[in-house]
Structure 1
């Protein structure tokens, strides 16, 4: 039985979910199984499409829709060569939320909104938030430096209130959240809800191999590291022996493994060399990476797949937020969401009582 508590915010009103909690779009992790469980728990599940081919994305969308009638979303790479085709899938299947890892073009935002989709780009600075707000985005998701995967240097406690004060659209906070106290704090800071990646990865509904999830639970608050050696951009990962080896490797030592994994990803995605080159060029233009960084970026999908799908920590890397150090169990998505909402209600009522008594 789900919690009877409800916290209504502009996020729940925009998306139609019961609770102001978002399961973020993690590559290789946020598939139909996790998204369905999140949606059924009353939160907003986001499919991660960056590691899916166009056909795989369509199959994933139809699978989720066959398993739940609750709202869910899809995370898209705005700089992908086939971004417009992926947007067409969202409009075709009436997906409720379009989440973007980078700022989508204004015309993509307009097309999605015309079809009733809620557009929520992820941003890491005030400047980017102001830009997508001016282009018509419905809300933004900010990720502070505590978050896993690609991340910035500004902590959530500073980025959140700064962005909330700068834009007139709802702001969802991610980076460092794992319980009801965090949800209550985010609401107090001006957010309309929280996004969580690592906390949802570490649930019984996550398809990540059990031995890998148990491996995550072994790490403390100092168990992550931010490195640019994986793909040329700051990336928060578990501090495994493999990642420590990446940190100490020179450019020449990285070259052959990088080329090998590029070929693997090309074959897995079913892309021609021309399509792969076009995709890389689009990413380079949008991100401003050097060609050396672009070569490293080809590492990321296969390195993450080795750890998160194949369960090989010796040949792969594991993205993780700093919250890994305070997580010690693997609840279901339903148990997790209910607990967070109940804890947040207690915290918010206690704070209100304190204000009244003063």
Structure 2
């Protein structure tokens, strides 16, 4: 159905306007390739990889799919220019950014034919990156997982759509075909989903950890700055509750230990970690204690997401985890979303003409079930 083919499909070279977002320790080659093969845009998360690991991951992803995919970068990483050069050499289709990249980085990628998609949480940020030449923008509302803001998607999305003239990807609270249709109705060109793709059989997150997500309700999350000084949404666990109650001095000690562990895991040099921390402090006007606390994030996420120890780490999540109750493959998930979206669109078209898809008067949108 033409209603599901948007400018985003042409921009990325994909069949459906569905994006699997880059999630540290989660979206590796297997999940990224599975999403791409199912017709969406899969995105590798590189922030938790060394440069050498990213190179291997890109090539492994290409072994698993011939479809376009993307790589998520940190604009403030010390070696961001080297990583951009790697994407260009490897002919990666899309570069996404968790933080707004500088104008010169956008220009470098665009000159090489790489599509640039920053993520934003405010209208003014979308306007800024659009003026710098970004090809599209992903806007995440407060329902989303990880670092997030206070404005819900239903209020933030129309603001951004009205403010920029590039394709907008809606993120935060999406998991099914009804959400895709709703995003399109707001003027978005597609949806981005993290938690929904995390909870697939193609995700490398341990099954026991996935079960914690599946048992969660929409109220079993918490937004806190206790982890790294910046508000982010986490699944509520005894460990997270204890972390929220912990004083900043004790968190600071944990941060130093986590930074040392992250350095060992990735091979990063201390000078690079210090340089990155100072860059974060300048770019985001963070006090020194928040820069120190930020060292917690990578290893606490790894403990839960990779090692399967939520008692020793944290689980990033969107509120939408409370609405998810199964673990389909990426192919099954995207087929389900597309089928339901088409049914909803057909039902709405029938309502508009006074007839249901089968010809009966007064029909209602089909496909309301999430199963």
After TM superposition, is the score higher than 0.5?
A: yes
Q: Given the alignment, which residue of 39, 50, 72 partners 2:69?
A: 72
Structure 1 residue matching 2:133: 3-state secondary structure = coil
Superposition RMSD in Å: 1.2
Matched-pair contact (CA < 8 Å) for 2:30–2:64: no
Cα deviation for residue 282 of structure 1 reads 1.4
Q: Render the CA deviation track for 1:181-201: whole Å, top value 9, x for unaligned.
A: 000000000000000000000
CA distance in 2, matches of 1:112, 1:258: 34
- 1:151-182, Cα deviation, whole Å (9 max, x unpaired): 01100000000100011111000000000000
- TM-score normalised by L of structure 2: 0.94
Q: Is the 8 A contact 2:42 2:70 kept in 1?
A: yes
Counterpart of 2:215 (choices 208, 218, 225) is 218
**Do the aligned residues in 1 keep the contact of 2:28 with 2:57 (CA within 8 Å)?**
yes
1:151 corresponding residue in structure 2? 148
The question of 1:233 aligning with 2:219 is answered no
String of CA shifts for 1:244-276, please: whole Å, max 9, x gaps.
Answer: 001111122223222111111112121222111
Tell whether the 8 Å contact from 2:25 to 2:45 is kept in structure 1 after alignment: yes
- Residue equivalent to 2:47: 50
Q: Give the Cα–Cα distance (whole angstroms) in 2 for the partners of residues 192 and 356 of structure 1.
A: 25
Q: What does residue 14 of structure 2 align with?
A: 17
Tell me how far apart the structure 1 counterparts of residues 105 and 307 of structure 2 sit (CA, whole Å).
Answer: 35
Higher relative contact order (CA 8 A, sep 6+): 1
Partner of residue 300, structure 1: 297
- Aligned structure 1 segments of 4 or more residues deviating by more than 3 angstroms: none
Residues 317-336 of structure 1 correspond to what in structure 2 (within 5 A)? 317-336=314-333
SS in 2 for 1:74: strand
Q: Secondary structure, in 3 states, of the residue corresponding to 1:98?
A: strand
* Residues 21-66 of structure 1, C-alpha deviations (whole Å, 9 max, x = no match): 0000000001001001000100000000110100011110011111
**Aligned-partner Cα distance in 2 for 1:283–1:251:** 19
CA contact (8 A) 2:252 2:289 kept: no
Give the one of 165, 170, 191 matched to 1:168: 165
Aligned partner (choices 102, 106, 112) of residue 103 of structure 2: 106
Q: What residue in structure 2 maps to residue 289 of structure 1? A: 286
Aligned to 2:201: 204
Q: What pairs with 1:86-105 in structure 2 (closer than 5 Å)?
A: 86-105=83-102
Rounded to whole Å, the distance in 2 between the matches of 1:329 and 1:79 is 36
Work out whether residues 44 and 71 of structure 2, in 8 Å CA contact, stay in contact via their aligned partners in 1.
yes
CA distance in structure 2 between the partners assigned to 1:9 and 1:254 by the alignment: 45
**Matches of 1:18 and 1:94, distance apart in 2:** 19
Aligned to 2:350: 353
Match of 2:240 in 1: 243
Alpha-carbon distance in structure 2 between the residues aligned to 1:5 and 1:338? 16
Distance 2:268 2:47 in 1: 14
Matched, 1:276 2:273: yes
Gaps of 5+ in 2: 356-371
Partner of 1:34: 31
* Deviation, structure 1 residue 6: 7.6
State how far apart, in whole Å, the 2-side matches of 1:28 and 1:161 are. Answer: 31
Partner of 1:183: 180
Superposed CA offset, 1:182-237 (max 9, x none) = 00000000000000000000000000001100111111110100000000000100
What whole-Å deviation, never above 9, does each CA across 1:48-97 have from its counterpart, x for those lacking one?
01101000111100111111110000000011111100100110001000
